[in-house]
């Protein structure tokens, strides 16, 4: 089977100046090189484009959306301090099962990071974690949510949705189920001789927007990343078959 061609780094750039590069990271590409030796990570691509590039933060492999890349150590320290002071405001979009009606619903379950990429909900041992959720669009069996994480714990949005029984669609690590067309389209019958493939590829979580004061500026700058094509396809199917 022919593999999809990886986009060039230039194709991912939403904004660039002398200090920063703002990207729209695709789903399926790691922020850092995988343990299996895959060199086509965002970090490797950024270093090839700009040798002094430093990732200001990370997104999970199957999380798409806006990312910040500093062009120098000084700018990296500036952005890092903004994150530490919680002066970087992020907005995510995700899909969960059921018709949910949330208006700034607060989830503040603590998250414990035991190292080696393993995290869990743990109010006794975990560090404080806060996320607000609001309904963006409702379907018959699903809801598009807007998520605003106040803290930046690993897997925070995914774990917080799990804590209220609404794992991200397709997030198999945290019990999220895939979407099958046979569950949406009446009288649809998948081919008898093969298993039905889900309409989503990986889990559906997108870093939609980021707001912060850029170096040398005095007002907030906002950058938005369009949804990745796979997420858009799922929403189009839901708008057609799940209303």
pLDDT in tens, 55-92: 999 999 999 999 999 999 999 999 999 999 999 999 99
CATH number at residue 236: 3.30.2350.10
- Position 1 in a domain: no
**Residue 26: pLDDT band by 50, 70, 90 thresholds?**
very high
- Position 137 in a domain: yes
The stretch 107-117 carries a mean pLDDT of 91
Query: Higher confidence at residue 242 or residue 194?
Result: 242
Q: Over the chain, what is the mean pLDDT?
A: 93
- The domain in which residue 51 lies consists of 9-241
Q: pLDDT at residue 96 above 80?
A: yes
- Position 143 in a domain: yes
Active-site hit among 34, 60, 108, 171 = 60
CA angle 23, 41, 224 (to 5 degrees): 15
Q: pLDDT at residue 188 above 50?
A: yes
**pLDDT exceeding 90 applies to what percent of the chain?**
83
The stretch 177-188 carries a mean pLDDT of 89
Number of domains in the chain: 1
CA angle 151, 155, 161 (to 5 degrees): 90
What was the pLDDT predicted at 2? Answer: 43
- Position 39 in a domain: yes
Query: Residue 78: how many CA atoms within 13 Å on its side-chain side?
Result: 16
Question: The tokens of 157 are what?
Answer: 């949005």
Is 60 part of the annotated catalytic residue set?
A: yes
pLDDT in tens, 124-144: 999 999 999 999 999 999 999
Q: What are phi and psi of 54, to 5 degrees?
A: -135, 125
Residue that is written with structure tokens 């041992």 in the block: 125
The stretch 29-49 carries a mean pLDDT of 84
- Position 4 in a domain: no
């Amino acid at each position: 089977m022919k593999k999809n061609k990886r986009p060039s780094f230039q194709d991912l750039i939403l904004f660039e100046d002398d200090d920063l590069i703002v990207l729209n990271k695709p789903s399926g590409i790691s922020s850092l090189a995988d343990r299996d030796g895959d060199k086509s990570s965002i970090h490797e691509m950024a270093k090839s484009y700009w040798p002094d590039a430093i990732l200001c933060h990370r997104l999970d492999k199957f999380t798409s959306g806006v990312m910040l890349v500093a062009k120098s150590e000084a700018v990296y320290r500036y952005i890092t301090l903004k994150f530490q002071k919680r002066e970087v405001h992020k907005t995510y979009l995700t899909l969960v099962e059921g018709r949910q009606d949330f208006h700034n619903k607060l989830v503040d379950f603590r998250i414990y990071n035991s190292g080696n990429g393993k995290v869990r909900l743990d109010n006794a041992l975990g560090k404080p974690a806060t996320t607000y959720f609001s309904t963006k669009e409702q379907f018959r069996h699903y809801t598009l949510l807007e998520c605003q994480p106040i803290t930046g714990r690993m897997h925070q949005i995914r774990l917080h949705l799990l804590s209220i029984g609404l794992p991200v669609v397709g997030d198999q690590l945290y019990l999220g189920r895939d979407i099958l067309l046979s569950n949406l389209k009446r009288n649809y019958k998948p081919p008898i001789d093969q298993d039905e493939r889900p309409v989503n590829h990986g889990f559906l979580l997108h870093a939609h927007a980021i707001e912060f004061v850029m170096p040398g500026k005095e007002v907030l700058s906002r950058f938005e990343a369009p949804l990745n094509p796979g997420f858009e396809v799922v929403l189009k199917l839901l708008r057609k078959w799940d209303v």
